[in-house]
Structure 1
Amino acid sequence: MRRTTRVIPAVDGISAPYPARRSRAALGTLTAAGTLLALLLPTGQAGAATPQPGHRTATPHTTLGAYWTPDRMRAATPLNLATPTKKAPTTTVRRSAPLKVSPTLPQLPRAVPSSPNSLPQAGGPWTGGGAVVKTTGRVFFTYQGRNASCSGDAVTSGNKSTVLTAGHCVKLQGAWHTNWVFVPGYHDGEAPYGKWPAAKTLATPQWTASEDINYDVGAAVVAPLDGKKLTDVVGGQGLSFNSGYSKPMYAFGFPAAAPYDGSKLIYCSGNTIKDPLFSQDHGLPCNMTGGSSGGPWFTTFDEKTGTGLQSSVNSFGYQFWPNTMFGPYFGDDAKNLYTTAQSS
């Protein structure tokens, strides 16, 4: 029997077709942490010529800040996608020598006195203060005529304007999102550091071409706001590429699906594993829900300063494997995406 390997997602509760000749009982569900995810599809082989990141260039609209009212931001919703349970072929994540980029932090907010936020933590509000409360934010955009949300992180970059997020938070099902803004330090409808519209959104070549879950990494270059550049205002976290598996990590995001409502910065922490099922992603004990996609994962995270080296993003979770989040390995293609974004 010939079977297709791609599905049409359900959007905002509207049922969509499952793969041809495949029964509903034969399917599991892969839930995107922020919006939708595509199926695992094979792309090029390791060792081939390095493909270049895809991108969308837009003219930033000064009216986007007015468009994204507190009510619209609160109402932006995540979506779900059905996928086969049978393991699909995946590509090999490109790896080379490790690379680390130090954070850029012009001014650290004062840490809020609290009990230690030590490992492990399966999900709870971040009360430690530090740089992460300024660099991490919510991402808002329009997808298929609907307003949706993800999370993102301002990182150290040559253009002082680069945000990292998930690939499906910039492009999905062949279409780039519109009305894209980054709101660092978001809190319950408030934008204390402004709403930064994207001049350009990018994704790894594998996500751009076939939405391969192993490469679910996206980026945005945001326009200056009030004559200032992003990291001059909020600072930028460092990065780490090709840093290996099975490490202590902290994950941050703004989950907006129950039991969360998107109003607060939530974090998880623990020792990661390599996904034994569909992908080559990191796995972390975490109960963050829809809306957290694209939020940063840090290695060598310092709780006192709220700084670390970003080495993944919230990407997806399996419905049949509760309280576990998965994020892509930051290999050569993620590094190339970052390099392209920061030089844009």
Structure 2
Amino acid sequence: MSNRAKRLLPLGALAATAVLAASAFGGPAQASPAYASDLLLSSPAEAYGAARFWLDANGAAMRKAQEYVWDAKDVTKLVRSSGDVTDGKPGMIGPKPATTAKVKNVNLPRTIGKVFFVDHKGEYRWCSGASVQSRYGNLVATAGHCVYDMEGNKDVLDRWVFVPSYYQGKAPYGIYVGKQAVTSYALDVYEDYDQDYAFVAVYNGFSEIGAKDVDRKDYSEWNGVKRSYSEEIIDIPGGKTAQEQYNEGAAKYPGDYWTKGSAYYRNRYIVGAAKDTGSLASAVGALGFAWNQKIGEPVIAFGYPGSPHPDGDKPFTGVTPKFCTGKPLAKTYKISDYKVADHVALKCAMTGGADGGPWVIRYDNTKRYGYINGVTSVFHDQDANNRVDHISSPYFDGETHGVYSKANGIQSSRIVGDKGQLLK
């Protein structure tokens, strides 16, 4: 991965410019906003198109997608930082789990899944993500670089969707299309990976339940898949035979009809019926959210790794979820290539594709529930043997909570109406 060149002044020059501007207009410079928010898909019709893009041909586009690309040179070495990163009181959102016990086998939560999108080159890509507690049950937590276009010149990535519990090409709980994303202003503008996280509000899910006949009026108003054709009238189940109907006159036939010779025809209008399946959280649940927690608390990092190690070895396929468990290193770490001053590091060999996956603390293995306290952001090779051996996450602090809170207020939207029609 190579970061795009931002059309911005260096930070020092920018600060000087701000001072000059304040002097010129006789007032103080305004503080930067704490967050950036962008629409991903603004209408249900666009959302339906994105869902169909990934689902058509039995999910061919999902199977074609490749993991988010990390070049070998981007697998960096961690440098110890100060470790003092809390900016307020610790907090948690979500039900309190039972006391967690140490277990050898981890039961995977339904809440984790794959994020799919199209990058600025038109390539199909994936990252990892997870459903997180929210007011409307519609929020996904992932890495910021898995939502925002860090390489091209767009604000956000195209056709963004979340597939919970993705497994070997299947979407067992459906597909949830991104509606609106919120991230840190520092990541959006300065590509500061200290805030490499994003929260995405998604549309409700839907399922297609087959075709149904409608009249011409409903057909003309239908926004989804539809077709019309003419058929010869042979018989109507429970009705009279074609000959009997012919003898009485075709005027008694329901719907549009026309004749050709001695045969009678009618027009049929077929639409693809669908139904709203509710929010993401109603389908798979949601993990809690935690911030300003003590570094070093045991964590489970989940994800869908798929990239090879820098030495070319490729132990992961990306079609099934994996995890790492352990205690993060006690101090925070710097990564100069990504403008990182304070990342939390965990010993783990997961590779690219796992980025965006949740770091979960206080995980209840029976209830498959815990609190998201980080997301995989960058991969590292500490012993210089050309293999990933650590991953790192932004430290979730009060600013992260502020970004989350902004996303938490975004209401749900439906793609399908009460009659099974696609909404505009």
Aligned residues: 286
Separation (CA, whole Å) in 1 of partners of 2:96 and 2:139: 12
**2:107 corresponding residue in structure 1:** 128
2:210 aligned with 1:154: no
Separation (CA, whole Å) in 1 of partners of 2:80 and 2:185: 19
1:101 to 86, 93, 102: 93
Separation (CA, whole Å) in 1 of partners of 2:397 and 2:106: 31
Q: How far has the Cα of 1:244 moved from its partner?
A: 2.2
**1:263 corresponding residue in structure 2:** 319
Equivalent residue of 2:125, what SS? strand
Q: How far has the Cα of 1:8 moved from its partner?
A: 4.1
User: Unaligned 5+ residue runs, structure 2?
Assistant: 6-10, 16-29, 207-275, 308-313, 411-424
Pair 85,245 (structure 1): closer, same or farther in 2 beyond 3 Å: closer
**1:140 corresponding residue in structure 2:** 116
Q: How far has the Cα of 1:63 moved from its partner?
A: 2.1
**1:285 corresponding residue in structure 2:** 347
**1:55 corresponding residue in structure 2:** 37
Query: Retained in 2: the 8 A contact 1:104–1:236?
Result: no
2:394 aligned with 1:328: yes
Task: Report which of the two has the higher share of helix.
Answer: 2
Pair 80,336 (structure 1): closer, same or farther in 2 beyond 3 Å: same
Query: Retained in 2: the 8 A contact 1:142–1:148?
Result: yes
**1:195 corresponding residue in structure 2:** 175
2:162 aligned with 1:182: yes
2:69 aligned with 1:79: yes
The one-letter code matched in structure 2 to 1:254 is Y
**2:369 corresponding residue in structure 1:** 307
* Equivalence map 1:198-237=2 (5 Å): 198-226=178-206, 227=276, 228-237=278-287
* Equivalence map 1:4-15=2 (5 Å): 8-9=2-3
Equivalent residue of 1:292, what SS? coil
TM-score between the two structures when normalised by the length of structure 1: 0.75
2:143 to 155, 158, 166: 166
Separation (CA, whole Å) in 1 of partners of 2:298 and 2:126: 27
2:392 aligned with 1:338: no
2:379 to 317, 321, 326: 317
2:303 to 234, 245, 253: 253
More deviation, 74-83/298-307: 74-83
Q: How far has the Cα of 1:52 moved from its partner?
A: 2.8
Choose 1 or 2 for highest CA Rg: 2
Q: How far has the Cα of 1:269 moved from its partner?
A: 0.3
Query: Retained in 2: the 8 A contact 1:170–1:177?
Result: yes
The one-letter code matched in structure 2 to 1:68 is W
Equivalent residue of 2:47, what SS? coil
Equivalent residue of 2:400, what SS? helix
Separation (CA, whole Å) in 1 of partners of 2:404 and 2:186: 14
Query: Retained in 1: the 8 A contact 2:377–2:392?
Result: yes
Separation (CA, whole Å) in 1 of partners of 2:184 and 2:128: 18
The one-letter code matched in structure 2 to 1:203 is T
Equivalent residue of 2:136, what SS? coil
Query: Retained in 2: the 8 A contact 1:93–1:214?
Result: no
Q: How far has the Cα of 1:74 moved from its partner?
A: 2.5
User: Unaligned 5+ residue runs, structure 1?
Assistant: 1-6, 11-16, 18-40, 106-115, 119-125
Equivalent residue of 1:281, what SS? strand
Separation (CA, whole Å) in 2 of partners of 1:329 and 1:243: 9
Superposition RMSD in Å: 3.1
Query: Retained in 1: the 8 A contact 2:80–2:332?
Result: no
The one-letter code matched in structure 2 to 1:150 is C
Residues 275-331 of structure 1 deviation map (CA, whole Å, 9 limit, x = unaligned)? 444241111111111111111101111222211111000111124553111111101
Q: How far has the Cα of 1:80 moved from its partner?
A: 1.9
2:289 aligned with 1:239: yes
